[in-house]
Amino acid sequence: MMMRYTQEEILELIRMTELEHFDVRTTTLGISLRDCRSEDVKRFCDNVYRKITRVAGRLVQVAEEVEEEYGVKIVNKRIAVSPIAVVAEYDRIDDYILIAETLDAAAREVGVDFLGGFSALVEKGCTKGDRNLIEAIPPAIARTKRVNSSLNVASTRAGINMDAVRLAGETVKRIAELTKDQDSIGCAKFVVFANAVDDNPFMAGAFHGIGEPEAVINVGISGPGVVLDVVRKMKGKDLGTLSDAIKRIAFKITRVGELIGRTVATRLGVEFGIVDVSLAPTPAPGDSVADIIKEMGFEEVGAPGSTAALALLTDAVKKGGAMASSFVGGLSGAFIPVSEDAGMVRAVKSGFLTLEKLEAMTSVCSVGLDMIVIPGDTPAETIAAIIADEMAIGVINQKTVGVRIIPAYGKKEGEEVYYGGLLGYAPVMRVNPGDPREFILRGGRIPGPIQGMKN
């Protein structure tokens, strides 16, 4: 049933879109590839290409029509497919590279920004196909423009697959090497998860989960500028009152996101899934999660108290979204990427924000260590150890976390890399020089915590 809007809400929406950077960050069309299976990889690729181009053929056109009709910008139009390692089990690494190239060609044909789902779920172990896909990730990303990849290496139920964590660290290094002519930008298209969700509309981690319908629209909204405006107006108010004000504005932007998502889904003839209520920043001035935290009363994000402020923000956004819609899902909360948030970049450059403080803040945000650039000579074992630390936060706290980290080839601490667009730019951050190699090479699985025993 279509939601009804008052005249006051419509006028407020116009103000948010024109003055406060409000947009729908992505409409992501999830597509099941389970019916594309074949023992022959070329036939599988043919099936995949035909299905994606058929189901998603009108996605961009419809999204643009809805943008025009409602006056709300939809920044990205994307596709998520079934995790490839789940629907394709082949003996050769080259087979998976061929699949990635097919996905890229299909995404190009329908005109979407990115396609996610070149993924494997290996929190408890790897099949031969899983390992082949993981080996294929670096060359696949290097050879394609739109394909995004992810690994789920941990869960609260299963614990942390440290063998997969080690492979993930090695994968990040190989991607960095193969895309070194672009400051290792390929690493921005690869994320490592604990407790990955089936309906995440954001890249690089989107995939179409096994429990999802044949095709579904999931929407990711974004409103840091809108929330920042609210926080500025609440200067001097107590934190409970501030939380309530954030909750109210999150309610409003969630209603808009669901309206857009349902309209796109209806016109495509597919199901509507969820609205992901995440504050997702961009490098544009006034569109920063870091600035929201700073405006709460800090010299800069990263100062003592920043984690508590982020917890308030994330909780208020979730509560507002949950009141607005019965279909809130995905990650939902607040993203704190470095390169994609001008305020985060400023805090890193001024020395307020370190990798260790970022890790602490990820215990209360909606994803994890995101778009962090580190020295290119950082060993694979150290990268794996950083991933393991973040996975532990997700496993123990029963939350989704991810790591998207970029060891920029040839770059040293304090230098900067420029990616442009939504990826922005970032300073190269310091990494603790302690050697974790012996711990990482132990391998095996860190068992799931006691709170994972829910039955």
pLDDT for position 7: 47
Residue 438 lies inside a defined structural domain of this protein: no
Q: Please, is 450 exposed, middle or buried when counting C-beta atoms within 10 Å of its C-beta (0-12, 13-18, 19+)? A: exposed
Residue 308 lies inside a defined structural domain of this protein: yes
Question: Quick one: which of 190, 177, 92, 197 has its CA closest to 149?
Answer: 190
Taking residue 92's Cβ as centre, other Cβ atoms within 10 Å add up to 12
Question: Which whole-number Å values give the CA distances from 98 to 45, 122, 204, in the listed order?
Answer: 8, 22, 20
CB 336 within 8 A of CB 365: yes
Whether the model clears a pTM of 0.85, i.e. scores above it, the answer is: yes
Tokens 């025009």 sit at which residue? Answer: 68
CATH of residue 41's domain is 3.20.70.20
Question: Quick one: which of 263, 255, 259, 265 has its CA closest to 223?
Answer: 255
Please tell me the distance from the alpha carbon of residue 217 to that of residue 257, in angstroms, as a whole number. Answer: 12
Please tell me the distance from the alpha carbon of residue 78 to that of residue 92, in angstroms, as a whole number. Answer: 28
Number of domains forming the structure of the chain: 1
Tokens 């470095």 sit at which residue? Answer: 338
Residue 46 lies inside a defined structural domain of this protein: yes
CA-based Rg of the chain, rounded to a whole angstrom? Answer: 21
Domain containing 108 equals 1-333
Residue 356 lies inside a defined structural domain of this protein: no
Residue 232 lies inside a defined structural domain of this protein: yes
CB 278 within 8 A of CB 336: no
Q: Please, is 86 exposed, middle or buried when counting C-beta atoms within 10 Å of its C-beta (0-12, 13-18, 19+)? A: buried
Per-residue pLDDT of the chain (455 residues; tens, 9 = 90+): 455 555 455 455 555 554 455 788 899 999 999 999 999 999 999 999 999 999 999 999 999 999 888 888 898 999 999 999 999 999 999 999 999 999 999 999 999 989 999 999 999 999 999 999 999 999 999 999 999 999 999 999 999 999 999 999 999 999 999 999 999 999 999 999 999 999 999 998 999 999 999 999 999 988 788 899 899 999 999 999 999 999 999 998 898 889 999 999 999 999 999 999 988 888 887 789 999 999 999 999 999 999 999 999 999 999 999 999 999 999 888 888 999 899 999 999 999 999 999 999 999 988 899 999 999 999 999 999 999 999 999 999 999 999 999 999 999 999 999 988 878 889 999 999 999 999 999 999 999 888 877 77
Residue 10 lies inside a defined structural domain of this protein: yes
Q: Virtual CA dihedral for 429, 435, 439, 442, nearest 10 degrees?
A: 110
Please tell me the distance from the alpha carbon of residue 67 to that of residue 77, in angstroms, as a whole number. Answer: 11
Residue 235 lies inside a defined structural domain of this protein: yes
pLDDT for position 72: 85
Please tell me the distance from the alpha carbon of residue 432 to that of residue 442, in angstroms, as a whole number. Answer: 20
Residue 378 lies inside a defined structural domain of this protein: no
